[in-house]
């Protein structure tokens, strides 16, 4: 049958190296590539056509969910397993809605991670045992009990992406160049964000981005 090719996506080099070491010790797996951000991840998948992508949700530039969505859109046969520290219901819902096949926690044991990978490769969904029963129940019920009542849900995906880039330290011109839009459009989005969230300075936006898990400290 041959080894299953895996691509690891995480901005922490040490963690990628650790995962590579662990997974490469299993004769069933071949860590075919690594990526440190969303753009690299998509390029890596396009080049290597892995069986599975193991991806952190908090990666630079692109939202983790947008990366998952793009991978599943372009390469539907590729399985995607999120590996994250977040146990929140809204994260789980957003991840599966983006098209992920499984949700594993970074606190998982080696045996749990291997089990998650094998389940996903077999076409099964996976949710880490570390996720509370209440959250899982909410997910299975379609997220009815997990919907956020905060103004965050009023933001468009573009506005969330701009918050992420601002929190990562990019200037408006850099954001405009990266998103292929004008600086004036970035400023318009920024104004809309401030109105919706009542947050009007960069430190406040950065704090929110960390709280929401779209950037790390």
User: From the CB of residue 183, how many other CB atoms can be counted at a distance below 10 Å?
Assistant: 14
4-140 carries CATH number 3.40.50.2300: yes
Domain ranges for the chain: 4-140, 151-212
How would you write the pLDDT of the chain (217 residues) with one tens digit per residue?
589 999 999 999 999 999 999 998 988 999 999 999 999 999 999 999 999 999 999 898 888 999 999 999 999 999 999 999 888 777 888 899 899 999 999 998 999 999 999 999 999 989 888 776 656 665 556 554 444 445 777 888 888 889 888 888 889 899 999 888 998 999 898 888 888 888 878 888 888 888 777 887 6
Give CATH for domain 151-212.
Answer: 1.10.10.10
Spatial separation of the C-alpha atoms in residues 168 and 25, rounded to whole Å: 35
Closest to 104 measured CA to CA, from 116, 114, 93? 116
- Dump strand ranges (E) for 97-183: 102-105, 126-127
- Class of residue 21 by CB neighbours under 10 A (exposed 0-12, middle 13-18, buried 19+): exposed
Spatial separation of the C-alpha atoms in residues 84 and 81, rounded to whole Å: 10
């Amino acid at each position: 049958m041959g080894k299953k090719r895996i691509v690891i996506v995480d901005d922490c080099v040490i963690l990628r190296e650790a995962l590579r070491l662990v997974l490469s010790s299993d004769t069933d797996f071949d860590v075919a590539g690594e990526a440190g951000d969303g753009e690299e991840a998509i390029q890596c998948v396009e080049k290597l056509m892995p069986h599975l992508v193991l991806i952190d949700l908090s990666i630079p530039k692109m939202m983790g969910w947008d990366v998952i969505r793009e991978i599943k859109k372009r390469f539907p046969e590729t399985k995607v397993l999120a590996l994250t520290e977040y146990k929140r219901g809204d994260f789980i819902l957003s991840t599966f809605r983006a098209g992920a096949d499984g949700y594993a926690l970074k606190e998982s044991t080696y045996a749990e991670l291997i089990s998650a990978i094998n389940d996903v490769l077999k076409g099964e969904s996976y949710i880490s045992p570390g996720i509370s029963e209440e959250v899982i129940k909410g997910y299975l019920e379609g997220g009815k009990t997990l919907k956020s009542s905060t103004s965050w849900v009023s933001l468009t995906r573009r506005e969330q992406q701009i918050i992420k880039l601002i929190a990562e330290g990019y200037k408006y011109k850099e954001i405009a160049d990266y998103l292929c839009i004008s600086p004036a459009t970035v400023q318009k989005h920024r104004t809309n964000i401030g109105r919706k969230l009542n947050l009007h300075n960069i430190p406040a936006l950065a704090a929110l981005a960390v709280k929401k898990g779209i950037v790390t400290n």
